[in-house]
Amino acid sequence: MSGGLLVAGTTSDAGKSVVTAGICRWLSRKGVSVAPFKAQNMSLNSFVTREGAEIGRAQAMQAQAARVEPSALMNPVLLKPGGEKSSQVVLMGKPVGEMSARGYHGGRQQALLDTVVGCLQELRGTYDAVICEGAGSPAEINLRRTDIVNMGIARAARFPVVVVGDIDRGGVFASFFGTVALLSPADQELVAGFLVNKFRGDVSLLEPGLDMLRGLTGRDTFGVLPFRHGLGIDEEDGLRVSLRGAVRESAVAPPHGADVLRVAVCAVPLMSNFTDVDALAAEPGVVVRFVDRAEELADADLVVVPGTRGTVRALAWLRERGLADALARRAAEGRPVLGVCGGFQVLGEHIEDDVESRAGAVEGLGLLPVRVRFAREKTLARPVGEALGERVEGYEIHHGVAEVLGGEPFLDGCRVGAVWGTHWHGSLESDAFRRRFLTEVARAAGRRFVPAPDTSFAALREEQLDLLGDLIEESADTDALLRLIETGAPAGLPFIAPGAPS
């Protein structure tokens, strides 16, 4: 077997990431050597590969679904937003500079096409199949000329395209038809059909619409995937997290001890790697929510200040909303606070930033004896260490260099009383360390919470990935998908007017 597929979507968040992961897990179960690929990803949730390359967390998750080691080849271009109009461009795992959206789409993006095609070719030479994920919608006609992630890469590789639509949002038939009808004739030739995502109810009621869609487009629907809770693993973009009442729980289970433990995550601007708290939410009896008001910290047993792509901006935001004062009161009262990466930096005494915000000297919250200086070179690492008597693995992605001037050592940061700070992302995925940490938090918070002795975050992640594989295997036409991957789009697919100019 040798081939591939592009999973496109009618919109952002249509389900491309999880469908791609599900197809990867399904193929891996069949003994197919498969790799994920996303030419260009815009995300603040990223990961560091073993060779020290930064890629989107979604692609790292998809690699795990495929049971292969993630690499920069799987996500050669990563855009990390620094505001509404500019992003840091990460090329082959290393940052190469900041660029405005106009500058990127005005020429730089097209210049990267050779790079992304080269990466895809290398993956195709190594694996039996490559499952590509698109970005946004392939029918963004204003961006088609410079597209390298949707139809641009499909045309370059001659890959068939399956379009995923989220029926839970409504309008899925119009979205399917309109997506195809806004593509040029050459692009339409590669769009083989559709996948309905997040369906609730009786599929037989949907079937007349699917028959009509086939009559209108000449294309099949390759499956209707049912709505499933708990499948939103490793989302691409923290900017789209709903802040009001957002709760992330991987498992619904009663507490192992007498009390639950409440975790409040400060939803700072440009929040990055908010997936760090998934391991907390996986613990029975731990309730995690994102907050943006000072009063929402009052009943929290632990407050997490997460990573951010804008440390100085996040610091100002915390002060404007009264959250900075609330954090200071917590520290004075001995109530637990954890700062991760950018969150660790804001808890320090002083920040010198001539790189990220170019704000120069800024005073931090002063809760930890740490001074931070932003370096032009980004630290990308996969450290291993020990904390609270347990082995810890993590990964680092930051420009800020911390000088720790006191406190108790804590990973690469420090601890003062009930305030902890570290640059290490992913540390809470180390099960024994997480249990020891939550035990300390419960003691400081006065809660009779006891961590479950057998929670394995890695096992829970595997269960979620298996559920994605089950979705594809049970609800998609896998024989038809396999034919697409092996032989490409069927010949003679009809053109849908009006189409876009070539």
Peptide bond into 453 cis (omega under 30): no
β-pairing verdict for 86-91 and 94-100: antiparallel
DSSP tag of 493: P
Q: Is 222 helix (H, G, I), strand (E, B) or coil?
A: strand
Helix 323-333, helix 311-320: angle, nearest 10: 90
- Residue 428: phi, psi to the nearest 5? -75, -5
Task: Please tell me the distance from the alpha carbon of residue 377 to that of residue 375, in angstroms, as a whole number.
Answer: 5
- Residue 24: exposed, middle, or buried by beta-carbon count in 10 A (0-12, 13-18, 19+)? buried
- Residues in a beta bridge with 5: 131
User: What H or E segment, with its residue span, contains residue 207?
Assistant: helix 207-217
β-pairing verdict for 419-422 and 413-416: antiparallel
Query: Assign residue 380 a region: left if phi > 0, alpha if psi is -120 to 50, beta otherwise?
Result: beta
Amino acid at 470: D
Q: How many CB atoms lie within 10 A of CB 306?
A: 26
Residue among 57, 11, 442 at smallest CA distance from 276:
57
Which two tokens mark 212? Answer: 């009509």
β-pairing verdict for 129-133 and 161-166: unpaired
Task: Please tell me the distance from the alpha carbon of residue 169 to that of residue 146, in angstroms, as a whole number.
Answer: 29
Q: How many CB atoms lie within 10 A of CB 450?
A: 18
DSSP of 142-192: TTGGG-SSSHHHHHHHT--EEEEEEGGGS-HHHHHHHHHHTS-HHHHTTEE
341 among known catalytic residues: yes
Q: Where are the alpha helices (DSSP H) in 274-404?
A: 278-281, 311-320, 323-333, 342-346
- Residues in a beta bridge with 370: 404
Q: How many CB atoms lie within 10 A of CB 99?
A: 19
Residue among 145, 184, 105 at smallest CA distance from 77:
105
Which two tokens mark 67? Answer: 């049971």
8 A C-beta contact, residue 192 and residue 493: yes
Task: Please tell me the distance from the alpha carbon of residue 408 to that of residue 418, in angstroms, as a whole number.
Answer: 11
Q: Where are the alpha helices (DSSP H) in 30-76?
A: 57-66
Q: Which of 398, 399, 423, 425 is catalytic?
A: 425
Q: Which of 24, 341, 414, 423 is catalytic?
A: 341
425 among known catalytic residues: yes
Residue carrying structure tokens 């692609």 = 59
Q: Catalytic residues, which ones?
A: 341, 425
